[in-house]
Amino acid sequence: MPADMPEDAGTACDILSFHILIYSLGDRMFIHGPKALSKENVEKELAKRLDAWTFPHAIYEICSSTPASDRAPRDLVVRITMDNLISLRTGAKKMDSTEAGTGEESGPAAFPDSLVSCVPQFSSDLAVAMMNRTVTDWNRNGICKPNWVP
C-alpha 136: how far from its chain's center?
22
| Per-residue pLDDT tens over the stretch 40-97 | 999 999 999 899 989 999 999 999 998 888 999 999 999 999 999 999 998 876 545 4
How do residues 116-135 score in pLDDT, each as one tens digit? 999 999 999 999 999 999 88
pLDDT at site 94: 56
Q: Rounded distance, CA 121 to CA 31, Å?
A: 25
- Bridge partners of residue 91, in order along the sequence: none
**pTM tops 0.85:** no
Residue 138 binned pLDDT confidence (cut-offs 50, 70, 90) = confident
What integer pLDDT is reported at residue 60 of this predicted model? 94
Domain boundaries defined on the chain: 9-141
Q: How far apart are the first and last CA of the chain?
A: 47
Report helix, strand or coil for 6.
Answer: coil
